[in-house]
Amino acid sequence: MNIGGPAVQISGLMRGLDPNIFDHKLLTGYCDENESDYLINVAKDVTVTRIDGLGRSIKPIADLSALISIIRIIREFRPDIIHTHTAKAGVIGRAASILSGHRSFRVHTFHGHLLHGYFSRSKTYSLILIERILGHFTNRFISVGLKVQQDLIEVGIGTREKFLVISPGLQLKEIPTKRDAKESLGLDPDILYCSLIGRVTEIKRPDRFLAIVKELHRRNVEIKFLIAGSGNLLRDISEKIKLENLDVTCLGWRSDIEVVLAASDIVLLTSDNEGTPLSLIQAGMVGVPVVATDVGSVSEIVVAGKTGLVKSTNIQELADAVESLVQDSHLRRSLGNEAKTFTHKNFSVGRLVSDHENLYTSLFTHPTNS
């Protein structure tokens, strides 16, 4: 439950599922040292059962201990449905379900995938093989976007009959005015700001973000930059910003993302791989136009040319897009307004909960077994 899309979605479900129908229990482990725990920092109201030894890193002894603990809980709780999220937890959770001997419907959500940009070819193939095997014991797969689903089916993970697309859903807190937001962050109210929001890790390509910063500075484009997030590359990126005297302010991880978005005039996503990035949905809900790389299911939440600008990973092309928004205030407002309407209509937390409730109840009439 580190800061990120899965944690936001799961917290929304924990709060929103009808307690008169669903008695649900959330099992999770602990975040790595360089990650922020969403349950501690934001979703303090969500009840959770912590599993010792369960974490993102692969640790055979700790993972075995976590597996045994989850098996024990399954046998005690006797759930009708076991729903797993994220790659490693999905493997351990479904393995525990199978080994427990308790008959449950199994659902797994892919919030993205690890097919590109994470591991070597051999490790990626091993992951695919494990997912193919577990797929035979999984009743339904959920993907957060159609592109994510297509990528998984192409490598033999799941079938179209088992897959269902459920887009993310979220709800923001109160949005401050732009002037108040900039003032609270100590920013110049008369300057435009472009923000990178999310985990500062390799797959998000903060180095590409800095390359765009340098290119726009070379062109004398009048805009400053923000990075809001934490991750294993934050220290290196911060040192590079200081060393090269770049006009970038690192805000670290923020629980008040609404303030960062309200202070932003443009949101830039530079990733090599994504599922359905919540930062772009959040930006849309605040009415901030985005420039994003065309990866994962980005194009399903950003309507190119209407709610934002979707480009290749080319630095010049991304810099051109940001510059076009800086120079054209009408375009910024138009894209932002369209994004606000589109995201509020399609990505509400109420819709997310309703979609899941419908799926859970449908399992008892259409289980989609292998």
Lowest mean pLDDT among 13-17, 273-277, 342-346: 273-277
- In the chain, ranges of CATH 3.40.50.2000 domains: 5-169+349-362, 178-346
Predicted confidence (pLDDT) at residue 179 exceeds the cutoff of 80: yes
The reported pLDDT for the residue numbered 343 is: 95
The C-alpha atoms of residue 25 and residue 50 are separated, in whole angstroms, by 11
- CATH code of domain 5-169+349-362: 3.40.50.2000
Cα 365 versus chain centre, distance: 31
Q: Hey, how many other C-beta atoms are within 10 angstroms of the C-beta on 183?
A: 14
Q: Which residue has the higher pLDDT, 124 or 85?
A: 85
| Fold topology of 178-346 | Rossmann fold (3.40.50)
The reported pLDDT for the residue numbered 114 is: 65
- The string of pLDDT tens digits covering residues 248-302 is 999 998 889 999 999 999 999 999 988 789 899 999 999 999 999 999 889 999 9
Tokens at residue 151, please?
């990528």
- The string of pLDDT tens digits covering residues 27-80 is 999 988 878 888 998 899 999 999 999 988 889 999 999 999 999 999 999 999
The C-alpha atoms of residue 10 and residue 8 are separated, in whole angstroms, by 6
The C-alpha atoms of residue 130 and residue 272 are separated, in whole angstroms, by 24
DSSP string of 130-197?
A: HHHHHHTT-SEEEESSHHHHHHHHHTTSS-TTTEEE----B---PPPPHHHHHHHTT--TTS-EEEEE
Exposed e or buried b per residue across 79-104, where buried means at least 16 C-beta atoms within 10 angstroms of its C-beta: bebbbbbbbbbbbbbbbbbbebebeb
DSSP SS3 for 74: helix
- Within 8 A by CB and 6+ apart from 136, the residues are 370
Say if CB 62 and CB 51 are below 8 A apart.
Answer: no
